[in-house]
């Protein structure tokens, strides 16, 4: 891209779209790294890399081994909450809460953020969620958690020492003071928090003090970021982290959602990672306008690799964007059994079951098309759009038949079925954002169907997307689209995910 082209360019915001909430960022030299919450999905904690803050490439998942991440009996929207990523003394440090049976706060380290990451260091004496790490000038490591309280820890052993102190918990009466991050900037220590809950009243506030333990003086202009009470297209803004560029400029990553449709507005992609500029005025950060498009920066752009539309499953291991529900045992999921195919062996009997064998990727675009070629000769399975066990749509193939299924709360139904020739079949889902016609218009329409041998797409059902939204289902995740098996063994030749122009 020439200098003139770059000057005139605009870049989409969110910078990491789709279900990528609770971003935490750190910079090492000219490299930036972001991690996000992953909840009930395995592998956990996606890790992204960028050289320009605008183009992000997933380079791995921090928790990719069963001994790092146990999600047994974890409900949907349980599991991995709000990690913090920091770099200190030549190592990357990651601290996170596993809200699962036998979980709690854990700490991991790595020399390369792409992995491998260490086995967990458990922190039994650190309660709560949203842990943060920071080191002071003396090398003391402080852990601050939602609430907002703080304790000194030894990051190598997980042991705590000294009393746990209550710090500053934001505006009086504001609920859910959480997501604390501490920074030494200039002459002050700054304590950044989220408050108001992660829904429409979400916001970011900040305070400062002369030591990492306080006392803290609140910013007179708090909250420094919120869209509560506005009609801004980006809502629920909060849970932020700060980073400084080598040129001295400051930036903030934070989560937000993009509601669609009528009233009250439904967001379907989950909470996404956005970027905004930050200026410092009288010793306080001022967040710039949050826009759906970011102007070209003054520094050089460094685009990453373009993600291919198709995955042919030609590698021995799945690419890092693929996630499963709670675990992924090799005996139930492999690319090594049939060359160039993904093989799934059923365990749970349907997507209603917590142990369903499912491999999916986050839906990242409001309008997109997904297709897969499935050989169901030895079982039953297909293509699903999942929010949780009680909210999902799927098109399912067995030998000689395809059917569309819908699960909305307590209601499960077969929407449509038809016969198909024996052998592999191409299944598809088209997602189209819906312009509001009235207050009741849903955010999008999902069309499920079959691709005929000549390439024609035959629609079997049009389903309202609002029922696969957080406003209907509750929870903290977003849509994941992928392949599954519910009976026997099912093979998948390829999987296409293609963004479409609205």
- Residues annotated as catalytic are 22, 178
- Separation between Cα atoms, residue 375 and residue 372, nearest integer Å: 10
**Non-local CB neighbours of 399 within 8 Å, separated by 6+ positions:** 376, 377, 422
- Separation between Cα atoms, residue 425 and residue 430, nearest integer Å: 17
Q: Going along 186-234, which residue ranges are E strands?
A: 188-195, 203-209, 217-218, 225-226
Measuring CA to CA, which residue among 181, 142, 179 is closest to residue 160? Answer: 142
DSSP code, position 114: T
DSSP string, 412-447: EEEEEEEE--SS-EEEEEEEEE---SSTT--SEEEE
Structure tokens at 296: 């070209």
What Rg do the C-alpha atoms of the chain give, in angstroms?
23
CB contact at 8 A, 243 and 26:
yes
Measuring CA to CA, which residue among 353, 370, 349 is closest to residue 361? Answer: 370
For the stretch 66-70, contacts whose Cβ atoms lie closer than 8 Å and that sit 24 or more positions apart, written own/partner, are 66/327, 67/119, 67/120, 68/44, 68/108, 68/117, 68/119, 68/120, 69/42, 69/43, 69/44, 69/98, 70/98, 70/100, 70/102, 70/103
- Separation between Cα atoms, residue 77 and residue 210, nearest integer Å: 37
- Separation between Cα atoms, residue 62 and residue 258, nearest integer Å: 27
CB contact at 8 A, 215 and 166:
no
């Amino acid at each position: 891209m020439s200098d003139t082209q770059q000057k005139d360019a605009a870049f989409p915001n969110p910078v990491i779209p789709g279900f990528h909430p609770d971003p935490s960022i750190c910079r090492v030299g000219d490299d930036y790294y972001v991690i996000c919450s992953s909840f009930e999905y395995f592998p956990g904690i996606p890790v992204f890399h960028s050289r320009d803050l605008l183009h992000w490439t997933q380079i791995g998942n921090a928790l990719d081994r069963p001994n790092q991440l146990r999600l047994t009996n974890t409900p949907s929207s349980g599991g991995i909450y709000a990690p913090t990523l920091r770099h200190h003394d030549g190592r990357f440090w990651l601290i996170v809460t596993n809200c699962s049976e036998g979980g709690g706060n854990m700490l991991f380290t790595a020399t390369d953020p792409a992995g491998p990451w260490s086995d967990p260091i458990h922190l039994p004496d650190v309660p709560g969620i949203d842990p943060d790490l920071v080191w002071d000038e003396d090398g003391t490591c402080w852990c601050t958690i939602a609430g907002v309280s703080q304790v000194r820890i030894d990051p190598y052993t997980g042991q705590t020492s000294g009393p746990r102190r209550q710090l500053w918990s934001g505006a009086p009466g504001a609920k859910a003071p959480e997501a604390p991050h501490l920074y030494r900037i200039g002459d002050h220590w700054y304590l950044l928090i989220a408050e108001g809950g992660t829904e429409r009243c979400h916001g970011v506030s900040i305070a400062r003090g002369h030591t990492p333990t306080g006392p803290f003086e609140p910013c007179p202009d708090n909250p420094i970021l919120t869209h509560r009470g506005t009609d801004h297209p980006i809502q629920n803004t909060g849970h932020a982290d700060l980073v400084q560029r080598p040129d001295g400029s400051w930036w903030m990553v934070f989560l937000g959602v993009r509601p669609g449709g009528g009233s009250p507005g439904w967001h379907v992609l989950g909470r996404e990672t956005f970027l905004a500029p930050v200026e410092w005025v009288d010793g306080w950060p001022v967040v710039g306008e949050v826009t759906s498009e970011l102007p070209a920066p003054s520094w050089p752009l460094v685009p990453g690799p373009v993600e291919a539309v198709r995955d042919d499953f030609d590698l021995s291991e799945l690419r890092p964007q693929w996630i499963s529900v709670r675990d992924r045992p090799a005996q139930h999921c492999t690319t090594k059994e049939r060359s160039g195919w993904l093989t799934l062996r059923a365990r749970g009997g349907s997507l209603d079951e917590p142990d369903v064998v499912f491999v999916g990727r986050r839906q990242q675009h409001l309008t997109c098309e997904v297709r897969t070629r499935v050989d169901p000769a030895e079982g039953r399975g297909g293509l699903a759009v999942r929010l949780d066990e009680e909210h999902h749509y799927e098109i399912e193939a067995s030998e000689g038949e395809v059917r569309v299924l819908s699960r909305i709360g307590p209601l499960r139904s077969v929407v449509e079925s038809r016969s198909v020739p024996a052998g592999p079949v191409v299944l598809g889902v088209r997602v189209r954002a819906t312009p509001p016609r009235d207050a009741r218009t849903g955010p999008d329409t999902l069309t499920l169907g079959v691709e005929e041998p000549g390439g024609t797409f035959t629609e079997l059902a049009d389903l309202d997307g609002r029922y696969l939204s957080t406003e209907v289902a509750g929870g903290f995740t977003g849509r994941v689209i992928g392949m599954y098996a519910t009976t026997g063994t099912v093979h998948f030749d390829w999987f296409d995910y293609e963004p479409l122009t609205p």
